[in-house]
Chain A
Amino acid sequence: MLKILHVDDEPDIREVAAMALGIDPDVEVRSAASGAEALAVLEEGWRPDVVLLDVMMPALDGPGTLKRLRQLPDHRDTPVIFMTARAQAQEQSRFLGLGAIAVIVKPFDPMTLAGQVRDHLSGAR
């Protein structure tokens, strides 16, 4: 079972990702509407195999959430994939430099999202 924590402030995106990922019987997905909510999910003990993290969110953005996540003892090495509408190579390089294993550019194909995540996880191992 692949456990995914998907973090995005946009309800439409959370809904479509949860629906599409949920079609895969080997995926368990939880959604969070903010960086703070994601950290709360992790602090309560849920251990995802990967975190899909939106970059631009109000209050605590994706990079800020990643920084806080790395301070949690159980999540120093949890793979994180940023999701962003900013597709420029230099921006993607910056996101990878922050410690993400990959960047998925929005818009994304919901029906292939689980496969993309698996591919990135395989590539990171």
Chain B
Amino acid sequence: MNDPLAPLRAKFRIRAANDLARLRVLAADDPKSDELRTLVHNMAGAAGTFGYADLSEAAKDVDDRYFAGEAPEPGELALLELRLAEAAQAG
């Protein structure tokens, strides 16, 4: 069955790969930077729309930390990295 969203999902997978690389750089530099917060917040809203619910949930957990004025736990960022990698490699 033809999936009208397939081309956009493919494009999103490229974004996930790019965001993963960017997240690693930003998290190593400053886990509370505005750029990282924006990346995470946008991913929380977008990923599920493209069918990547696990990635959206992982991003939401980190986003919630930011909104509470806290830094994310290392394990939360690690899970977000994992979910981004999974999305980037999804077929």
Contacts and interface: CB of A to CB of B under 8 A. Distances in A.
Nearest to A107: B48
Contacts of A13: 45-46, 49
A110 B51 CA distance: 10
A85 B49 contact: no
B8 A10 contact: no
Interface string A82-110: 00111000000000000000000011111
Interface string B44-55: 111111100100
A106 B8 contact: no
A85 B60 contact: yes
B4 A19 contact: yes
B63 A85 contact: yes
Nearest to B7: A19
Contact of B49 (A56, A86, A107): A107
B89 interface: no
Interface of B: 4-5, 8, 11-12, 15, 41-42, 44-50, 53, 56, 60, 63, 67
Given A13-B45, A85-B45, 13 more contacts: A10-B45, A10-B46, A12-B46, A16-B8, A16-B49, A19-B4, A20-B4, A20-B5, A85-B41, A107-B44, A107-B49, A107-B53, A110-B49
